[in-house]
Structure 1
Amino acid sequence: MLSRTFTLRPWSALDTRYDQLEVLATTVNPAGTPVTLLADTANAAIARPEPRGIPFPPEQPYDALLVIGQGDDRTEIPVSGLLFRFPHLDAWSGGFAVAKARNLAQRNYDPVKGDAGLLPHNIATFDLAGAQDGSFYAGDGIEVLSFDVGGTIWTSYFDEASAWLPVRQRRGRSETFEFGKDRVLVHMPGLIRWNRHGEILWAAVHDPMKVDWCDCYALNVGTHRTWACPYTGFPLVDIDEAGIRLVRRNPIRSSGAIAVDGSRAAFVGATADRIPGRYVVTECHLGDGAVEPVVAGPLAMPDGTNPPCWFRRKVARGGRIWVQFDDPRVWYLLQL
């Protein structure tokens, strides 16, 4: 296999006018635009409280500022009364959403009574004026919140996740399901696609013989397709609006980020020695069968040095992967 160095390039940096505000959450939206949720010191202390005991005190509302874009090409949206601590965030052309990863209050749900109104909502949707226009329950253990270009919401989950989901029945042999009113507790839900009203459009099916959705290690929400690389088997799962199109065997283990552009893909994972910041990128060919490695090599910063630490955040869309390190105000790009 050939060898080369894969070099990150600077993508965006938050304007210095926001230096007095703290970053609560940040991402890159489907248009490739940085999105950052900011708050002053007092509101940031509510949004990210220091642990003073377990459990945390009840959530309190806080105010924040959403910034979409950078430099002179940016939009500021004041947001009042946010409730979710340690938020996740994403935006699309018609609005934005804020989520909280841990939703432990779902334990109080009684499936016998079956009152879905008792499930605690942990995703809130907003219009571009900053007004909340909806909210819904999305389970506990959200790892990634990501919009696609059409405004539907993808949530991926880590291995301790669970969710009270509607009981579903498969329509024939397709990947399409019908969802009833009764709910069942699903452990390790893996990956779910929602509309903005909280209705499930597609959900992963845990099947160790095909796809083991223990933890959705890597997620790429592209324009018309989504790709996932779930633990423990790390297959490359190709998904469109109808469901899973193809599951490819993948020799690349423990990939934490994937870029896909046509018949090419790049997998980013830690090196075997697990030294913080040491990554190897493997570019591969995608056919109808297994993933075929073509070239591999280290990931480097723009100046040629090793990354300073593990990724703090990563977002993959199509052939591009954006990453952050210690500074939540700066994004770097790896592009196929």
Structure 2
Amino acid sequence: MLDPKLTLLPFADISVYTEGFDIVSVQWGHDGLAYILLINQVPERRKGMFVQTKLKEPYTYKVLIVSDQYVQEVVIGGQQFHYHYVQPLQEHLLLVGARCTYYGNDQFDLNAKVCDMEGTTIREFLLGDGIQSVQVTKHGTIWTSYFDEGIFGNYGWDQPVGASGLLAWDAYGNVLYKNNSADIADCYALNVVNEEEVWFYYYSDFSLGCISGGFKPESTRVNFLNPNISGSSGFCTDGYHFLFDAGYGKHGTFIFKKMQKSGSLTKGTKFQLLNEKKRPFQQARQDFRQDRLLLSEGDLLYQVTMEELLSVIE
């Protein structure tokens, strides 16, 4: 039997908004809208390798809030920090830089900025270096996962903020939750479904964890599954069905799995997503959140829900 396929049509074309800008990241918000971060020029890396944190000159960022009906544009000018992610934070926007530097004597970059919808800065705080993913809940809980440099230290951090690999914060940068259940060397993927359900996938075990029950130690539960996938960069789920990026050497292709009674996942089915030209997506940006996948190819945005996948597979 041939691998199942699903052809996606774009739900938005943002080309009108991208002239003179480069796309930095494409993410889902908790509200089901797409949040696109753009910059007027991508900063050069230091020594051709290291991502800058503080920038020598001001840059202009742009945030697009996109549905299938409209595009809202927020311009944030005169910025001298390097941001990589954007999320809705209550009635505001949260910009986060993946890297931040520790200079010594309790001097460090503040790599989280909260802005209003006019692009005006409201406050800034620290979320740590080496951030792999940022997702914010409806009630304003900020979840951050970290890659290896943010866990073991670089950019001057001998005691990294992200040493646990996964944290939750309030809207002002106070820690609410710190992972102590998984030995995370690199948190490859994060999916914050809601306040009561947070999934994460990590190296070196390649295990899939689910946090439930809130933040109080007496009620928090963490359960683990083995998805039998190495190096997946993301997944979406309805709690029973899962769509994974296929992992090392197979990024951009997908595997569908479902929960078995034993609390394990099925072997899985390879799954192909095609663009409107019925061609596989080429180097598309992708973001997994809740039960949906967001894809960005060029200036076109695509989405697929678990319900749509199930209509083809089952």
TM-score, structure 2 as length reference: 0.80
Letter in 2 for 1:254: G
Question: Where does residue 165 of structure 2 map in the other structure?
Answer: 190
**2:30 paired residue number:** 30
Report the Cα offset of residue 100 of structure 1.
Answer: 1.3
Give the corresponding residue for 2:19.
20
Task: Kindly provide the CA deviation profile for residues 172-200 of structure 1, in whole angstroms up to 9, marking residues without a partner as x.
Answer: xxxxxxxxxxx954664311111121101
Residue equivalent to 1:231: 203
SS in 2 for 1:222: strand
Shift of residue 229, structure 1, vs aligned partner: 0.9
1:247 is matched with: 224
Task: Name the CA distance, whole Å, in 2 between partners of 1:11 and 1:227.
Answer: 27
Deviation at residue 27 of structure 1 after TM alignment: 2.0
Query: Would the alpha carbon gap of residues 124 and 258 (structure 1) be closer, same or farther in structure 2, given more than 3 Å must change?
Result: same
The structure 2 residue matched to 1:298, chosen from 255, 258, 271, is 271
- Within 5 Å, which residues of 2 pair with 1:136-285? 136-162=125-151, 184-185=159-160, 188-205=163-180, 211-224=182-195, 225-240=197-212, 241-242=214-215, 243-270=220-247, 274=249, 277=252, 279-285=253-259
The one-letter code matched in structure 1 to 2:187 is C
Change (3 A) 1:255 1:221: same
User: What CA distance in whole angstroms lies between the structure 1 residues aligned with 2:264 and 2:56?
Assistant: 45
| Cα deviation code 1:139-187 (max 9, x no counterpart) | 11111122112122111111121489xxxxxxxxxxxxxxxxxx95466
Aligned letter for 2:20? L
The alpha-carbon distance between structure 1 residues 219 and 62, as it changes in their structure 2 partners (threshold 3 A), is: same
* Structure 1 SS opposite 2:258: strand
Preserved contact between residue 94 and residue 151 of structure 1 (Cα < 8 Å): no
Whole-angstrom CA distance in 1 between matches of 2:194 and 2:83: 28
Instruction: Give the direction of change, closer, same or farther, for the CA distance of 1:14–1:215 in structure 2 (3 Å limit).
Output: same
Aligned-pair CA distance for 1:121: 0.5
Would the aligned equivalents of 2:93 and 2:116 in 1 still touch at CA under 8 Å?
Answer: yes
**Once the 2 structures are TM-superposed, how far is the Cα of residue 71 of structure 1 from its aligned partner?**
6.7
Does the Cα contact within 8 Å between 1:30 and 1:92 map onto a contact in 2?
no
Is the alpha carbon distance of 1:198 and 1:11 closer, same or farther for their aligned partners in structure 2, counting shifts above 3 Å?
farther
Give the deviation of 1:291 after TM superposition. Answer: 2.4
The answer to whether the Cα contact below 8 Å between 2:243 and 2:257 also exists between their aligned partners in 1 is: yes
Cα offset, 1:304, TM superposition = 4.1
- Structure 2 vs 1, CA of residues 78 and 187 (structure 1 numbering), >3 Å: closer, same or farther? closer
Q: Which segments of structure 1 move beyond 6 Å, counting only runs of 4 or more?
A: none
Count, aligned residues: 291
Which segment is superposed worse, 293-302 or 2-11?
A: 2-11
CA–CA distance in structure 1, aligned partners of residues 56 and 68 of structure 2: 33
Query: Alpha carbons of 1:255 and 1:38: their partners in 2 closer, same or farther (altered >3 Å)?
Result: closer
Structure 2: runs of 5 or more not aligned: 307-314
Q: State the distance in 2 between where 1:228 and 1:122 align.
A: 22
Amino acid at match of 1:18: Y
- 1:287-315: per-residue Cα shift (whole Å, max 9, x none)? 5x542216402322135433323x4x322
Query: Is the Cα–Cα contact under 8 Å of residues 12 and 302 in structure 2 kept in the other structure?
Result: no
- Once residues 71 and 282 of structure 1 are traced to their aligned partners in structure 2, the CA distance between those partners, rounded to angstroms, is 26
Distance change in 2, residues 1:120/1:253 (3 Å): same
Higher strand fraction (1 or 2): 1
5+ residue gaps in structure 1? 165-182
Structure 1 residue 94 corresponds to structure 2 residue 69: no
